[in-house]
Structure 1
């Protein structure tokens, strides 16, 4: 298999022509990145493989939960992928499990805070469910039944509950990683939590036309930049410790941090007529994403993938960069040639690696030329979701952009959602039991241990 470098002035049409001439192999997923039907067929195989890991629609199982070893947040991320799958392909076979699962996990006050998740509930975890609800509103996904909370209201509930957690007493602002003070990681302000808050605020601003959301999004972005979690050359670091006023930070880089800010900036750019500050920021962020593409060609998780050190969560991160790159092309057309060049070459590598398992269609997680024509032996929700997202987002530039309330959107909102029992920084709605503390400590310590291990290998 050949991989083509993108030179200056290379257009998406040129990339398509080059990739259409790549020698074909006997692949279980035979992908032609220039043919919509081929892309949809590949996405269907990847989506079915993804849903096979989900059992929440079966008798005796919990809707909206994935089995171990997956954390709750990843099911919300998976539902987001399936919402876009329906949007890009028109295949509605998975819609009902998405609707049922999301409604089962809304928790109290319609803010995706189910009580049984408090032992590991971070602001980033909650955000992935809120973003999925926002996607459903913007994509015109079938609305929940009458009497159930609606997609826009759920997204607003998540945003509102997080806005009251904004904390200026330490580091001059920002959200902490963990919501509950008894969880390890509460003393860490991480980039993905604040990035999701920025991202969701930008989407709500565009959908509703409410200036308050725009102002919050801009405030969050400038805080992350000002505290140094966005470097001068637009590297997105993992997070900073509250102790020391966020002067001590972990400089590891993850694909989903780049993606969440890229697409958030695209929403801000779109709302400001593509000029000025947000045009500059979006261009700079896009340029910096090349760190996540080996030889500026194939997407890879630079912090852990080359060393075989990616944990369960990290194996899904490329899915979100692919998703948010595709979304960016719908909001800022000038990004299309660059992004589609990245996605097309990465999708070709991903398809070549979906040859595992007894069905010879199980997707692995490594797409770079050294492993692309053989299954890498990895499998799971993350691997299937990354393949699905890299396939289906090839269709993004040809698809209708996200709806707003004044265009094609028809979801009912609730500006007061999420405020009834909002948990402010340092406060909880219930006293933490010993079991809570022990359970939460184990879960988050495990995450921190894996994170630090990944950082060690990156430094080496």
Structure 2
């Protein structure tokens, strides 16, 4: 199935026919200009997608991109629709999410289950969570519903919580035979935490809030979140029954900071312990700004970008930090004055980086391929899904303070249907959640890039130049 380009696609087709070289020109703060720029970048992003081609698998990106990044991309497209009102890509977004939800309705499709990690599953679930919160069009009643999909993943996460090692936490990998099973990483636990916090806000169910509190406390106890707001990548598990897991990988990635920042902001919005969560929000935000924004206030991936060795996964991380920082301003208004100028400066820089016309590797409008480094003042020769998605997020999330209300809840207009026991039927059953207090009207995505070897041998190198 191919998408219908609509009016936006017709304009793009004319530009392509003329072989125009049109660099992204955007005035940050001007709604029409931002939406036009976002439309152009989104077109270039979706030209990487092949899942709508005859014979391909809906929801999958081609090599060399992993499954989790497709989930992240469609989460971005849910937000793109919400912020711009452009419905061009809604059909393929819905198709991708529902196909990858799989017959078991838990984002564990058969073609991924042998290699799927907890973080991979989480990025698809977060896309569904955004669909619920943004009132993305609900699927037909006989199809999986956004909220129920999220609840299925949450329940499976709860069933995998491992207190026999490291005193708790999710492992990176689901299956024992995969490399990384003996590693508990922040992004997997961050997915669990972020979803739990958002489910707590959305449904009003205290069980979700309790889990969010538990996950964050474990991250602190494990030494992965420090009092100063640093968020480390993960901890190696020495062996079965090991309660002490001192081998900490101290790499700090932008997406780890972002996912906990946003979840903490949600918790500060919904709990009666707001002061505690506000303190956590402020410490993580301070750490994030100090580490991932240079003197020009432009976002960069601190560990690998300046050294020039970010891999394909890492080249997409800035887009998620942008998403979660923008979401943080909606949940914790006291962060707006700090975050908003940073997002605007980064968006302007990202737009300048969307000026490439590479001979290969990009099929969007010539002159609008987005590069990775936003501090270069132009295209750096690195086109790709991550680069295009980063720039799209950076530009469009500047609309958050202008066109987007706060994400809805079951009490403020949410329409998606939930199932608090979803996922437990097909996988390891967990204790049923407390009843949803709002009744039936409940509305309603990785391959982490740290490897276990770095836990054992890389920390000394990592800290050089940190």
TM-score range normalised by the length of the shorter chain:
0.7 to 0.9
CA change 1:312–1:424 in 2 (3 A) is: farther
Pairwise CA distance, 1:453: 7.5
Q: Is 1:146 aligned to 2:145, yes or no? A: no
Query: Is 1:128 the counterpart of 2:123 in the alignment?
Result: yes
SS of corresponding position for 2:88 = coil
What does residue 389 of structure 1 align with?
A: 393
Q: Matches of 1:278 and 1:33 in 2, distance apart?
A: 31
Q: What are the equivalent positions in structure 2 for 1:354-365 lying under 5 Å apart? A: 354-357=354-357, 359-365=366-372
- Unaligned 5+ segments in structure 1 are 1-25, 426-442
Bigger helix share = 1
Q: Deviations over 1:345-393 (max 9, x none)?
A: 111111111111250100001011xx12x21110100000000110111
1:294 deviates by 1.2
Report the alpha carbon displacement of residue 448 of structure 1 after superposing the two structures with TM.
5.5
**TM-score for both structures, normalised by structure 1:** 0.86
CA distance in 2: counterparts of 1:354 and 1:224, whole angstroms: 37
Distance 1:286 1:300 in 2: 15
> In the alignment, which of 406, 413, 416 is matched to residue 401 of structure 1?
406
After TM superposition, list the pairs within 5 Å mapping 1:72-151 onto structure 2.
72-151=67-146
Report if the CA contact (8 A) 1:262-1:282 is conserved. Answer: yes
TM-score (norm 2): 0.85
Q: Match for residue 64 of structure 1? A: 59
d(CA) in 2 for partners of 1:214, 1:352: 41
| Contact 1:120–1:183 (8 Å) recurs in 2 | yes
Post-superposition shift, 1:279? 1.4
Distance of 1:455 and 1:303 partners within structure 2: 14
Deviation of the 1:296 alpha carbon: 6.3
**Alpha carbons 1:124, 1:177 under 8 Å: kept:** yes
| 1:216-365 equivalence runs, <5 A | 216-243=211-238, 245-272=244-271, 275-290=274-289, 291-295=291-295, 297-357=297-357, 359-365=366-372
CA contact (8 A) 1:124 1:193 kept: yes
Of 151, 156, 159 in structure 2, the residue corresponding to residue 161 of structure 1 is 156
Report the alpha carbon displacement of residue 148 of structure 1 after superposing the two structures with TM.
0.3
Q: Size of the alignment, in residue pairs?
A: 415
Q: CA RMSD in A?
A: 2.2
CA distance in 1 between partners of 2:454 and 2:294 (Å): 23
Tell me what 1:205 maps to. Answer: 200
Q: Match for residue 9 of structure 2?
A: none
CA distance in 1, matches of 2:223, 2:103: 35
CA-CA distance at 1:447 after TM superposition = 5.8
Maintained 8 Å contact 2:249/2:454:
no
Which runs of no fewer than 5 residues in structure 2 stay unpaired?
A: 1-20, 359-365, 431-446
Larger deviation, residues 415-424 vs 74-83 = 415-424
Q: How far apart are the structure 2 equivalents of 1:380 and 1:455?
A: 31
8 Å contact kept, 1:310–1:454 = no
For residues 458 and 283 of structure 2, the distance between their equivalents in structure 1, rounded to whole angstroms, comes to 30
CA displacement 1:209-239 (0-9 Å, x = unmatched)? 0000000000000100111001221110000
| Cα 1:382–1:444 shift into 2, 3 Å | closer
The 1:30–1:273 alpha-carbon spacing in structure 2 relative to 1, beyond 3 Å, is farther
